[in-house]
Structure formats: structure tokens, C-alpha cells
């Protein structure tokens, strides 16, 4: 039997830059085939070609042995190939059901849309995959994690024979990942071919039947999880091995930098109390929607809170805006770099110094450009942002370098306490190691660092202590070298 | 690829590509007009063109700042009309010239502050807010004058618009000084640099600690003040005030700013580009008059140019966002 989907000798260049070189790839019906590789290795480009978003320069696409040539996403979906985008393709101002069935709305007489059936179909779809999401709610009112699940439901709703998931878990908490994997297992049993693109090797080894590795636009190899190991895959991905993803832990001082007391803002979070010490990395774990981001934003003055107190180095603060927080030395690294963090069409230099302009302003508010250029150059160097040209616009960078730019922006504001929300979301292994090291260096220089992460290994590997959130409350504060993932999960869900 | 505007760098030329294109267009049209009609190069005509474009220039500069902030101001023409009426009525009643000008500009600043307050603090779409102000300001100007001209202005006031140095009106020099100052500020002054961040991504700007609301409000006040200044020059030059002054000026200002490099989607804008675009539009208008085109068709051409400019903006934005 021919594979459900086969790509043969695909070539693709953007301008003079060759992104894919003779790449061949096949996925069988009822198979989960993982595609891994560093950012920029060509995974997304390959999937975009299969999904009809980009056109290939050379090569063949075969669906069950038949040559196909999808001209756009819509055609690809009609053929039975559905892509779940890394960048969400949902419209926030429309309801969940409207988003899922866009262009396929059931109609009554005269082409009027049958809203009842539309919502009922969406409801049935959610029941099928076992999630509770209201079809009539606006998509924008759901968190990024839930939106990801809606996106996946949309892909499933096309009765696709091939579903391509591009980093589907990057915004999901562990329990949501479990649920997704349950959905994937069901699809697999129904004979759907699934391409699973991920940076998270733990997940890849859990779910994949085969693993294909791309490096610099070439297919390095195909292997089965049983015949390989994460270390071997990393070696294949980067051409070298990483002995340790996490930097050694530092020495935590006794001095408290940030003290949060009984912070509440019902219904989002209640009675949040903790202290962050000088030189400490404090991890915050929990499910998406447990209130972690909301607490961080409240401390930063981005959102308000109803009661409680926040003190920085013993001084009680009454922060009403991010500007005041930054002036005091509290900086928040946002979980959503494209929407809330970076100025994508502006240069790296402008981005890096954006939160620190106050340091470079002379008489009458005139900026000192020489100092700005020097600061930006230092930050590029220190954070190893590439290419090393700070007059390039940020949207020309890879995800990993964008994330490093966001970190550089936060650091140039000279924080005393840094609240890093998903600091390594959607970045490759190499960038991840660099960002972890940068956070630890920061702590070693006496800054208090909070790391919110939905990746348990990251929280555990990086943090000196771990706070677990559950439904808007702190359910545990764990310390010591031997915190286990199972222990954290228990506190997160029970 | 390097996007303009970046923070200025010594290696970067003062002119961006668009300015070069606009300058070339101006050159081509000037040569064509001087070949087609000898009247074009007469000093009388050139002075006429340059003087006439002063009002448009001031308003287009203000519009550039508002567009940069991802806003729009449809009320500038009406604010010009209202300021013209208020200032000249005060003068007619015997108010001292500085007082009349001060109160006139105060009225325009108030219009801008109201626009800015609704947009920045109450988060109402700028299109709606300024559309309302457009109607309100013009309406007040109409009520105040009952539709009559306001004349009988003191000679000292008329001298502002009619006085000349080297046969060129003072106001042309003043407008050029405004261009230079604003160009420098847009490159080097912190609040205006921060305006680029606000226009590019307002939420990210807020989380970066930029005073989004305050700077946005300041932008609208500045824009209205530029319209008010144009009103002072216009009334003193024409020796009268009239409630219809500035009718349709918002379209010209938006067209010039967008042709000059501003985007309706915020985050870009260039003083030099806007200035050249105003000059280009003035030349096209002048050519139309000299070549005896129907004045009625002039609006058609202006509207057409505006649509083309916005189309170019849309394509440019697509390139920028697709990256």
C-alpha cells in the first residue's frame, strides 16, 4: 500500500537562500511520524509546501500514490491534508463554532446559515475529542492553550486523512498535552496519518512511531524511538551533543527581593503569597489557566488586582502601570512575544533599547544615539543574537533569535526582579540552552528571577524552588534537588 | 533588509528611498511644466505655489505624527475653519493680536485634546472621534458667523501672512523652520521616538513602559495646533475669516502624509517624505490650473491620488507583515 502522504525530493529556496534540499518524507496511514530539527532546519517550510501555503521549486507530492498539487490551504484541506498552524489561524472576534466551520457553514433555505446546527456540530466535535469548550464563546476569550485545542479540533473537523501539527504543544500545559495525545491516539486508530512537529523530544518519544530529523534543509535520517534515544536525536539535529540542557544551580542569598502577600483578584487568583530571594530562580508550574500569567501581570502593573501587597527589597509598592514597575526594577518577559513583546517591523536595536530609553535621554528629551548603539551592540553580543546586525528588523529573525531579542530587551531595563513567562516557548534546543544560561547568569548577579513554564523539565531543571499553581491558588511550594515531575503534577491537578 | 525608519545611524543617509523617488517626480513634473507653459517658472507663479502649499504642509506634518501613532485625524480642516473664525472675530471685536492668536490656538488645542482624550483614554476609534469633531467644529464655526465672512482685521495682523522677506512671505520661512525642527525631533526626541513604538504595537509599547495614552493625546493636540497655525496664516493672508476655510483639507493632509511614507497602519512616517509629497501635490494642482483644466475635475484628481497612495501603502504593509 502506498504511504498516506509522500514528499519526494522536495527543493525550495527563498531568494538565494536554499531552505530545502532534496528532502523526501513519507507518513503511513495510522502512523504518528515526528519531524524534528532546530529552528530554521526547514520543518515548517516542508509542511507549508505539503499544506499548500508555499509552492515547491522541484519535487513531487503524492497522496495515496496520486500526484497532487495543492494551490492553497483550502485546496489542501479538500484533498484531506489539514495543517494545525503554529501561528494560530483563528479569528478572535468570532465564536468558536464560526471559526471551526468558516466557509463550511451549514445552510438552510436561501443560503441562510443554520446557526443551531453550526453550534451543535461544534459541540459534537468537542464531545468526540473529549474537551469542554463552548461553541458560542468568542475565541478571543479563551487562552492561547485552549485556542490551540480549538485549532486542532478545526483540523480534525475536515475529516482529514493527513493531519500536520506544527508545535501543537508549545502553548499547552502537561494535562492538556495528555488530552491532545489521547486525541492523537484516537485519530491514529481511525487510520489518520499524523505528522507531529515538535521541539520537545520527551513528547516525541512518547507519541511517535517514527522520527525524521531535518538539519539545515536536508533529511539527516529516519529512525524508530525504540532504536534511538533523545541524546542521539539531539546529536542528529545539531551535529553535536548537549551534555547538559540546564546550567548548574547557584547560591541563593537570604535577602528577599520581591515579597508578594495575599494577592487576590477573583476569580483569576486568590491569596497568592511568596517571596523571591536575591540570586534565586523561582519556578512557577501549573496548568494553563491556573492563574500564573495573571499573577505575573498583576505584579508588573499590566493588570489590576483587588487586594494584597507587593514589596520590592522591603519597600511597599503601589504599582499602577508597567512603566512604574520598570522604573522600580520589576520587568515582565511576556509569553507572547509577537503580540505583546516585540515591535516586529522595527529594528533589533530599537527593540532592545525600547524599555530603557530613559537611560539614554539628555536635555529636553533628546536621545543619545551613540550610547543606544553601544548598549544594543553589547546586548547583541551578550545574548548571542544572530545575525549580528542590529539594524535588521526583528521579523527577519528566527524564533530563537526573536526570543533572545525579547530577553535582551528585558535585561536592558536592568531588572531587580525578572518575571519570565514561558521564556523558551517555540525556540530550538540551542537557543533554549542559551536562554537558560542567561537566566542563571542573571540570578548569579543578584537578580531575582521567576520562571513561569509549562514544560516541567524546564521548571525543575532551572529552578531553585518551585511554586505550583492550581485553579488560581498556590497548591505547593517545593524546594530541594529532588523534586519529581510526578510530585509537581500531583499538586497541579489535585 | 533594513527598514526605515530605524534609529538614525551615521551610515544611513538622511533621505530614504521614497524621498528620492518623490524628489525625482518633482523634478520631472517641474521640467515638464516649464516646457509646457512659460508661466510656470515666473516668480509670481512659484511664489504662489510655495505660499499656497504652506497651509497644506503644516497640516500634513501634524497628520504625519497622528498617522505614526496609528491614528487618523479627520477634523483638521474643520479645526482650521473654527480657529479662523474665532481668531478673526476676536480681532474684529478689538482684542489684542497676541490674545486673539493665543485664544484661537487655544481653541484648536482644545479640539485636539478632546480628540486625544477620547482616543487615548476612552479607547474610541480615532476615525469615529475625529469624524465627530469634524462635524462639531465646522458646526460651531457656522453658528458663530451665521455663514458670513469676518473682515475688518488690523493691518498688523495681516502683516503676518502678507509680509515678505526677499519677496517670499514670512510664513513660508516659518513653515520650513517647522519642517526642520520636526524632522530633527522625529529622529531624536524621546516622545516622538516612542510614538514609533506605539504605532507599531500599542500593547507591547504599554508593556514596555511607554506612556502610550499621554503621547497619543499629545499627538492629537499637536495635529490640531498645526491646523490652528494654518488658520492664523490663512486668515492674515486673505484678510478675513470664513467658516468654510479648510474644507476638505483633511484629505490632502492624509494623502500627503501617506504618499510621503506614513502608513494608515501606524509605525511609520517621515517629515521629509511628507514635505516632498505636499510639494508634489501642489505642483500637480498648479499644473492643472496653468494648463486650464477644469477646477471641478481637481477634486477628482486629488481623490484619485489619495486612493492610489493608500493602495501603495497596503501593498507595502503586506510586504512588511509577510516577512
Q: Which of B236, B295, B233, B226 is nearest to B256 (CA)?
A: B226
Between chains, do A365 and B323 touch, taking CB under 8 Å as contact? no
A281 vs chain B: nearest CA distance in angstroms? Answer: 22
First to last CA, chain B: 10
**Per-residue pLDDT for B6 more than 70?**
no
Pick the more confident residue, B294 or A49.
A49
Separation of alpha carbons B56 and B14, rounded Å:
23
ipTM, 2 decimals? 0.82
- Mean pLDDT in residue range A355-370: 89
Same domain, A228 and A304: no
Q: What CA–CA distances, in Å, run from B63 to A37, B55, B58?
A: 48, 12, 9
Range of the domain at B77: 43-316
Q: At what angle do helices B249-259 and B271-290 cross, to 10 degrees?
A: 120
The answer to whether A377 contacts chain B (CB < 8 Å) is no
Between chains, do B206 and A409 touch, taking CB under 8 Å as contact? no
Give the torsion through C-alpha atoms of A128, A130, A134, A139, to 10 deg: -100
Query: What mean pLDDT value characterizes chain B?
Result: 88
The answer to whether A113 contacts chain B (CB < 8 Å) is no
Same domain, A486 and A348: yes
Separation of alpha carbons B120 and B127, rounded Å:
13
CB atoms within 10 A of CB A110: 5
Q: Which of A205, A238, A271 is the last residue of a domain?
A: A238
Indicate whether A247 belongs to any domain: no
Indicate whether A98 belongs to any domain: yes
Range of the domain at A182: 5-238
Percent of chain B topping pLDDT 90: 58
CB atoms within 10 A of CB A265: 20
Q: Identify the pLDDT of residue A263.
A: 93
Q: Identify the pLDDT of residue B191.
A: 93
Q: Which of A204, A238, A272 is the last residue of a domain?
A: A238
- Mean pLDDT in residue range A477-481: 85
Indicate whether A249 belongs to any domain: no
**Per-residue pLDDT for B321 more than 60?**
no
A402: CB partners within 8 A, 6+ apart: A337, A338, A342, A394, A395
The tally of domains found in chain A comes to: 2
Same domain, A266 and A213: no
Indicate whether B47 belongs to any domain: yes
Same domain, A205 and A334: no
Separation of alpha carbons B316 and B3, rounded Å:
11
B221: CB partners within 8 A, 6+ apart: B109, B112, B113, B116
Separation of alpha carbons A435 and A427, rounded Å:
10
Same domain, A320 and A185: no
Same domain, A305 and A234: no
The strand pair at A193-197 and A162-166 is best described as: parallel
Q: Identify the pLDDT of residue B2.
A: 37
- Burial class of residue B166 in the structure, from the number of CB atoms within 10 Å of its CB (0-12 exposed, 13-18 middle, 19+ buried): exposed
Q: Identify the pLDDT of residue B103.
A: 96
Same domain, A197 and A110: yes
Q: Identify the pLDDT of residue B322.
A: 46
Select, from the ranges A227-231, A368-372, B68-72, the one with the highest average predicted confidence (pLDDT): B68-72
Indicate whether A251 belongs to any domain: no
Between chains, do A302 and B204 touch, taking CB under 8 Å as contact? no
pLDDT band at A239 (very low <50, low <70, confident <90, very high): low
Indicate whether B206 belongs to any domain: yes
Indicate whether B98 belongs to any domain: yes
Residue of B nearest to A413 (CA): B208
Between A82-96, A453-467, B98-112, the lowest mean confidence (pLDDT) is in A82-96
Q: Identify the pLDDT of residue B13.
A: 44
Between chains, do B9 and A391 touch, taking CB under 8 Å as contact? yes
Between chains, do A342 and B204 touch, taking CB under 8 Å as contact? yes
CATH of the domain at A458: 3.40.50.300
Residues of B in contact with A369 (CB under 8 A): 7-9, 188
CATH of the domain at B297: 1.10.3470
The tally of domains found in chain B comes to: 1
- Mean pLDDT in residue range B95-99: 92
CB A210 within 8 A of CB A28: no
Between chains, do A350 and B2 touch, taking CB under 8 Å as contact? no
**Per-residue pLDDT for A241 more than 70?**
no
Q: Identify the pLDDT of residue A494.
A: 62
Select, from the ranges A90-104, A469-483, B175-189, B306-320, the one with the highest average predicted confidence (pLDDT): B175-189
Same domain, A140 and A271: no
Three-state secondary-structure class, residue A398: coil
Q: Which of A238, A266, A283 is the last residue of a domain?
A: A238
Indicate whether A250 belongs to any domain: no
First to last CA, chain A: 46
Indicate whether B13 belongs to any domain: no
Same domain, A194 and A321: no
Indicate whether A100 belongs to any domain: yes
Same domain, A228 and A295: no
B294 vs chain A: nearest CA distance in angstroms? Answer: 43
- Mean pLDDT in residue range A274-297: 90
Same domain, A208 and A320: no
Separation of alpha carbons A38 and A23, rounded Å:
16
Same domain, A79 and A9: yes
Amino acid at each position: 500500500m502506498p504511504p498516506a502522504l509522500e514528499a519526494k525530493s522536495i527543493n525550495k529556496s527563498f531568494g538565494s537562500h536554499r531552505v530545502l534540499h532534496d528532502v523526501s518524507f513519507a507518513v503511513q496511514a495510522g502512523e504518528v511520524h515526528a519531524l524534528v530539527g532546530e529552528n530554521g532546519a526547514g520543518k515548517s517550510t516542508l509542511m507549508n509546501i505539503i499544506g499548500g501555503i508555499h509552492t515547491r521549486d522541484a519535487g513531487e507530492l503524492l497522496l495515496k500514490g496520486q500526484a497532487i498539487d495543492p494551490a492553497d490551504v483550502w485546496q489542501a484541506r479538500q484533498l484531506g491534508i489539514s495543517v494545525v498552524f503554529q501561528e494560530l489561524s483563528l479569528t478572535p472576534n468570532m465564536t468558536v463554532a464560526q471559526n471551526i466551520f468558516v466557509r463550511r457553514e451549514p445552510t438552510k433555505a436561501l443560503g441562510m446559515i443554520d446557526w443551531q446546527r453550526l453550534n451543535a456540530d461544534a459541540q459534537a466535535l468537542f464531545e468526540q475529542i473529549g474537551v469542554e469548550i463552548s461553541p458560542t464563546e468568542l475565541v478571543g476569550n479563551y487562552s492561547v492553550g485552549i485556542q490551540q485545542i480549538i485549532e486542532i479540533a478545526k483540523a480534525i473537523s475536515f475529516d482529514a486523512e493527513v493531519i500536520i501539527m506544527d508545535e501543537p504543544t508549545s502553548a499547552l500545559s502537561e494535562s492538556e498535552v495528555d488530552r491532545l495525545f489521547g486525541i492523537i491516539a484516537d485519530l491514529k486508530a481511525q487510520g489518520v496519518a499524523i505528522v507531529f512537529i515538535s521541539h520537545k523530544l520527551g513528547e516525541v518519544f512518547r507519541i511517535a512511531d517514527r522520527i525524521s530529523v531535518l538539519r539545515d534543509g536536508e533529511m539527516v535520517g529516519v529512525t524508530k524511538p525504540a532504536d534511538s534515544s533523545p541524546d542521539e536525536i539531539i546529536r542528529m539535529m545539531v551535529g553535536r551533543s548537549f551534555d547538559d540542557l540546564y546550567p548548574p544551580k547557584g547560591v541563593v542569598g537570604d535577602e528577599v527581593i520581591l515579597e508578594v502577600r495575599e494577592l487576590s483578584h477573583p476569580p483569576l487568583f486568590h491569596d497568592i503569597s511568596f517571596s523571591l530571594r536575591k540570586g534565586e530562580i523561582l519556578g512557577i508550574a501549573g496548568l494553563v489557566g491556573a492563574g500564573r500569567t495573571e499573577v505575573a501581570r498583576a505584579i508588573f502593573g499590566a493588570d489590576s488586582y483587588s487586594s494584597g501587597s507587593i514589596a520590592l527589597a522591603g519597600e511597599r509598592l503601589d504599582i499602577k502601570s508597567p512603566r512604574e514597575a520598570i522604573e522600580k526594577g520589576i520587568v515582565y518577559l511576556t509569553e507572547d512575544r509577537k503580540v505583546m513583546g516585540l515591535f516586529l517591523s522595527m529594528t533589533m536595536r530599537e527593540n532592545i533599547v525600547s524599555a530603557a530609553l530613559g537611560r539614554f535621554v539628555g536635555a529636553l528629551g533628546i536621545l543619545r544615539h551613540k550610547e543606544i548603539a553601544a548598549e544594543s551592540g553589547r546586548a547583541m553580543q551578550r545574548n548571542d543574537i544572530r545575525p549580528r546586525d542590529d539594524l535588521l528588523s526583528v521579523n527577519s529573525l528566527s524564533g530563537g533569535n526573536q526570543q533572545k531579542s525579547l530577553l535582551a530587551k528585558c535585561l536592558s531595563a536592568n531588572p531587580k526582579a525578572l518575571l519570565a513567562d514561558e521564556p523558551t516557548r517555540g525556540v530550538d534546543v540551542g537557543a533554549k540552552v542559551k536562554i537558560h544560561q542567561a537566566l542563571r547568569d542573571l540570578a548569579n548577579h543578584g537578580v531575582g528571577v521567576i520562571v513561569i513554564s509549562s514544560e516541567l523539565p524546564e521548571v525543575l531543571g532551572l529552578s531553585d524552588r518551585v511554586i505550583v499553581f492550581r485553579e488560581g491558588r498556590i497548591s505547593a511550594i517545593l524546594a530541594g534537588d529532588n523534586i519529581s515531575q510526578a510530585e509537581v503534577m500531583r499538586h497541579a491537578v489535585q | 533588509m533594513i527598514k526605515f525608519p530605524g534609529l538614525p545611524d551615521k551610515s544611513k543617509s538622511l533621505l530614504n528611498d521614497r524621498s528620492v523617488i518623490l524628489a525625482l517626480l518633482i523634478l520631472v513634473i517641474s521640467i515638464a511644466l516649464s516646457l509646457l507653459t512659460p508661466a510656470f517658472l515666473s516668480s509670481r507663479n512659484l511664489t504662489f505655489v510655495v505660499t499656497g502649499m504652506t497651509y497644506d504642509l503644516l497640516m500634513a506634518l501634524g497628520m504625519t505624527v497622528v498617522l505614526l501613532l496609528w491614528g487618523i485625524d479627520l477634523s483638521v480642516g474643520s479645526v482650521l475653519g473654527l480657529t479662523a473664525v474665532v481668531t478673526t472675530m476676536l480681532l474684529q471685536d478689538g482684542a489684542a493680536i497676541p490674545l486673539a492668536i493665543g485664544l484661537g490656538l487655544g481653541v484648536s488645542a482644545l479640539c485636539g485634546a478632546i480628540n486625544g482624550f477620547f482616543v487615548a483614554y476612552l479607547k474610541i476609534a480615532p476615525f469615529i472621534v475625529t469624524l465627530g469633531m469634524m462635524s462639531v467644529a465646522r458646526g460651531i464655526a457656522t453658528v458663530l458667523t451665521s455663514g458670513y465672512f469676518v473682515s475688518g482685521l488690523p493691518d498688523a495682523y495681516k502683516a503676518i501672512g502678507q509680509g515678505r522677506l526677499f519677496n517670499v512671505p514670512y510664513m513660508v520661512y516659518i513653515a520650513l523652520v517647522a519642517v526642520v525642527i520636526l524632522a530633527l525631533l522625529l529622529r531624536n526626541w524621546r516622545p516622538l521616538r516612542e510614538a514609533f513604538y506605539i504605532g507599531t504595537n500599542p500593547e507591547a509599547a504599554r508593556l514596555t513602559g511607554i506612556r502610550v495614552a499621554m503621547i497619543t493625546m499629545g499627538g492629537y493636540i499637536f495635529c490640531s495646533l498645526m491646523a490652528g497655525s494654518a488658520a492664523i496664516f490663512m486668515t492674515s493672508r486673505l484678510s478675513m475669516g470664513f467658516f468654510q476655510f479648510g474644507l476638505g483639507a483633511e484629505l490632502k493632509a492624509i494623502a500627503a502624509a501617506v504618499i510621503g511614507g506614513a502608513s494608515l497602519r501606524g509605525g511609520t512616517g517621515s517629515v521629509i517624505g511628507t514635505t516632498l509629497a505636499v510639494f508634489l501635490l501642489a505642483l500637480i494642482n498648479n499644473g492643472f490650473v496653468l494648463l486650464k483644466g477644469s477646477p471641478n475635475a481637481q477634486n477628482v484628481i486629488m481623490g484619485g491620488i489619495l486612493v492610489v497612495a493608500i493602495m501603495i501603502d497596503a501593498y507595502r504593509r503586506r510586504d512588511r507583515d509577510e516577512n
